[in-house]
A and B are shown apart, each in its own frame.
Chain A
Amino acid sequence: MSSTNQSISIINGRLIDPANQIDDMLDLHISQGHILAIGEKPSGFEAEKLIDATGRIICPGLIDLSARLREPGFEPKGTIASETRAAAYSGITTLVTLPDTNPVIDTPAVMELIRRRAKQSAHARVLCLGALTKNLNGKELSEMAALQNAGCVAVTNAGKPLGNTLIERRALEYASTFGIKVFIKPEDRHLRNDGCVHEGIISSRLGLPGYPEAAETVAVARDIALAEATGAHIHFQCISTAKSVNKINRACHDGINLTVDVAAHQLHLTEMDADDFNTLCHVDPPFRTLRDREALRQAVATGSIQAICSDHQPHEPDAKDHPFPDSETGISALETLLPLTLKLVDEKVLDLPTAIARLTIGPATIANLPFGRLDQGRTADVCIFDPDSHWQLNANEMISHGRNTPFANWEFRGKVTQTLFEGRITYDLDTQHERQ
């Protein structure tokens, strides 16, 4: 892969940039890591490298709002180097990582460590969510202002419970003092109890502890009330139920400032997929009913859900080799983020520009990032994919350390051919073929 900042022209492709409402046959010219021009080649510009994107889509590099890279602390599951390489392979140029590392991202020092590792690997941009409370203990506020100065995108307790609602109120007030957004994966831990699959007909039949819908909706209602009371900006991560979407829609209608994302796998699987004690389908929040899945899909189409994330959680094989309730939760999901989203286009849930918007400008707006769009002068983060390439996911050939995916052997249409991060080619399927 090229590490120098060569000038590049991407020609003959269909350029889709939802932020600028562009969907046209346009060339893209890149110089010094930035977008030099869109369309006509500027006079006197000769690219050192030409990428022929005939039959392919050119879009902004994808932004993933929820990706655990496992470093520092859990390197057997994944490293910044391994997971950013998987990101580049998947068209993703910006990864937002969660603070539940070891040590927890609750000081600028840990953020600095992550930034350095990411810079060494140089496959993708890694941004941090800072811890909302010290060591995610749910009791004492973290030094949020310091984390903000060090460049954290927002703060979150990463799914770890807050001691009580007073602490949540104080945390929201303190964060909003500095205009810091708070990311929340809504969950009432008492209602959740030891639930590991959706409380429904599967939990009843298999005798698995149920994770009721209300464990999410009660938390959503509480968080909305506190957002209203404190004026804090909340972003809901990884929503799983239709009723949560309804509640959030109503609150937005009432003028409360809320945004929402959903994990790509929630748009495809349901409680039925855990039916054979398949630990690869052990996720948190759990797969819900078909009705929930349809409502989530609709919300993505209409924009009630503004972003699709991967909720990437790579694991070593041992983590899933346990009886269902004892296995660890999560999916290694970077490599299926775009394919699962494109599947929604094939299934006529949304059109291609909208699908791309949910992976680019949608998350960029939520996290207030200057990426996810292809304006002249911007950092050249670009994803090029062949929308008609059919392929099958082979878990053993995944780039991520984690091969824990329930989508092994699924047929997909649409494959990333090149990824450009800050104007450098970080993945190129064409040259890979040449080498073989």
Chain B
Amino acid sequence: MMYRDHQLTEDGKLKHFLSIEGLNKTLLTEILDLAESFTSLADHGRAVKKVPLLRGKTITNLFFENSTRTRTTFELAAKRLSADVLNLNISTSATSKGESLLDTLRNLEAMHCDMFVVRHASSGAAHFIANHCAPHISVINAGDGSHSHPTQAMLDMLTIRQHKSDFTPLRVAIVGDILHSRVARSQILALNTLGVTEVRVIAPRTLLPYDARSLGVHVFTDLHEGIEDVDVIIMLRLQKERMTGALLPSEHEYFNLYGLTEDKLHLAKPDVIVMHPGPINRGVEMDSAVADGKHSVILEQVSNGIAIRMAVMSICLGSRPEHQRREETA
């Protein structure tokens, strides 16, 4: 398939980071290992948290959808690598003036950027941009529609690895709005590539995609059955606009059936970890006792987010030798 090749160079190195699909275990492990080495940068009260790996490079955060949290972690990651950062929120301004996505791209290319970090409401937007931008530019997908959010999935993998060391024996349950979740799609691909024993998804049928099993998961509609003996529980964020209406009757009923509480947590392995991509709706996806409890690793996910994004940025930009880039720009 076309795009699988498009994120890799001919010698199999990462050029863009668009989707977990098509990436092998070695590549994912390389990202995790490098990210692990970056996590120590922020530790032990180090005075200088920066490394000069991307000095002189310009990274543009190209956000067609509002997001403060994700954009901030990308910005911080770029700055810790000593890159220059440009933040552009194009959510409505450019398109309402009739400028097409391609026109926007051409304008930004003219500013000699090295990397686009892209978030867009349409599935496939990051692939589209990677296929159409100048050859020296790397594209990182920061979330496209319901398709893919690979850096989020990788920071979750890093968090799991820090607690469980080996992926092989793990059973992982993902709970919530699978249908609309780019995070879930990327997590499922990453977990299966890293070789876990079982990935489960748990949701009412209105929030499950067509033939969810085809994604490589076991499907549960009952939370109690679904989290039995699992090592990791990933709770997905439920968007406010989906809490009432034709998908779900109410947040109250959702919490009763699919909300994670300390009681239900006993069904999982004793050393289960609980994750959430944030921000949490307390009392909807889980209660505060779980969110702040001893099984929760939610804040670790946030700090791992910076390390993963540093790793992906430096791998993508490092995969291209300096002289080759100049030739292509010329």
Interface residues of chain A, those whose CB is within 8 Å of chain B, are 199-201, 203-210, 212, 275-278, 318, 321-326
Known A206-B123, A207-B123, A325-B124: A275·B1 in contact at CB below 8 Å: yes
Cross-chain contact of B128 among A209, A210, A275, A322 (Cβ < 8 A): A322
| Shortest beta-carbon distance from A194 to chain B in Å | 10
Known A277-B127, A277-B128, A323-B124: A206·B147 in contact at CB below 8 Å: yes
A contact patch SS: loop
Nearest B residue to A277 by beta-carbon distance? Answer: B124
Chain B 86-101: CB-based contact to A (< 8 A → 1; otherwise 0): 0000000000000011
Which residues of chain A come closer than 8 Å to B215, judged between CB atoms? 204-205
Q: Quick check: which of B190-198, B205-213, B254-262, B276-284 contacts chain A, the rest being far away?
A: B205-213
Which residues of chain A come closer than 8 Å to B47, judged between CB atoms? none
| Shortest beta-carbon distance from A198 to chain B in Å | 9
| Shortest beta-carbon distance from A402 to chain B in Å | 18
Interface size on B, residues (CB 8 A): 28
When chains A and B are docked, how far (Å) is the Cα of A201 from the Cα of B215?
8
Nearest B residue to A203 by beta-carbon distance? Answer: B210
Q: Tell me the residues in window 146-165 of chain B with beta carbons closer than 8 Å to chain A beta carbons.
A: 146-148
Which residues of chain B come closer than 8 Å to A326, judged between CB atoms? 101, 122
- CB distance B101 to A200 under 8 Å? no
- 15 A-B residue contacts at CB 8 Å? A200-B210, A201-B214, A207-B144, A207-B182, A210-B210, A276-B1, A277-B123, A318-B100, A321-B101, A321-B102, A322-B122, A323-B122, A324-B122, A324-B124, A326-B122
When chains A and B are docked, how far (Å) is the Cα of A195 from the Cα of B212?
17
Which residues of chain B come closer than 8 Å to A318, judged between CB atoms? 100, 102
Which residues of chain B come closer than 8 Å to A200, judged between CB atoms? 210-211
- CB distance A208 to B147 under 8 Å? yes
- CB distance A277 to B3 under 8 Å? yes
Known A201-B214, A205-B214, A206-B123: A323·B185 in contact at CB below 8 Å: no
When chains A and B are docked, how far (Å) is the Cα of A363 from the Cα of B124?
38
- CB distance B147 to A207 under 8 Å? yes
| Shortest beta-carbon distance from A192 to chain B in Å | 14
- CB distance B210 to A201 under 8 Å? yes
Nearest B residue to A275 by beta-carbon distance? Answer: B1
When chains A and B are docked, how far (Å) is the Cα of A324 from the Cα of B147?
12
Cross-chain contact of A204 among B101, B120, B182, B214 (Cβ < 8 A): B214
Which residues of chain B come closer than 8 Å to A212, judged between CB atoms? 210
Known A207-B148, A277-B127: A322·B212 in contact at CB below 8 Å: no
Which residues of chain B come closer than 8 Å to A321, judged between CB atoms? 100-102, 132
